[in-house]
Amino acid sequence: MDIVRDLAVIDRLCLREFPEAYGRTDVGAGGPGYLIAELRTSGDFYEDDGSDGEETAAQFEAERDALGLLLAERWGETHAFGLGGVFLRSQEGENIPEPWATLAAHVPDVQAWHTDSGRWVALGVSHWGAELPLQLLAVVTETEPP
């Protein structure tokens, strides 16, 4: 875990302009009104030693929580919420704004802060599927969580 690097990435994202169209960036992806940094990516979820990856998931969640404590010192109260309901609403046809619609498809919950600049910063652990790697994500967006 390189928390200093992670904070520097988040700081850069908070200062950047948002892309006009969806695409890849130097640290992840972005689109109109948001940027997503892939702070860390695991190996395969099912580890070579035969374990089911629960240790890796716990490690990524611990890293998210540690980084979250530092962000809470900066921006105050942490808004923690699950994205399962957002995902269900999107499946029922509700138009969920990005980046929240995409995040809800693979990030079960996030910790979020409303910054002094008016942007939202969120941290989450991506679980695309059991056979895919985990990712620790940082999101910066001007769109309020749904």
Q: Decide: helix, strand or coil at residue 35.
A: strand
Greatest Cα-to-Cα distance within the chain, rounded to the nearest angstrom? 46
3-state helix, strand, coil in the chain (%, to 5): 35, 25, 40
pLDDT value of residue 44: 59
Q: What is the pLDDT of residue 128?
A: 77
pLDDT, position 55: 77
Rounded-to-integer distance, Cα 70 and Cα 138, Å = 13
φ and ψ at residue 44, rounded to 5 degrees: -60, 145
d(CA 101, CA 107) in angstroms, rounded, equals 10
Per-residue confidence (pLDDT) for residue 3, from 0 to 100: 93
Residues ≥6 apart with Cβ < 8 Å to 59: none
pLDDT value of position 132: 81
Those residues of the chain that have pLDDT short of 50 are 45-50
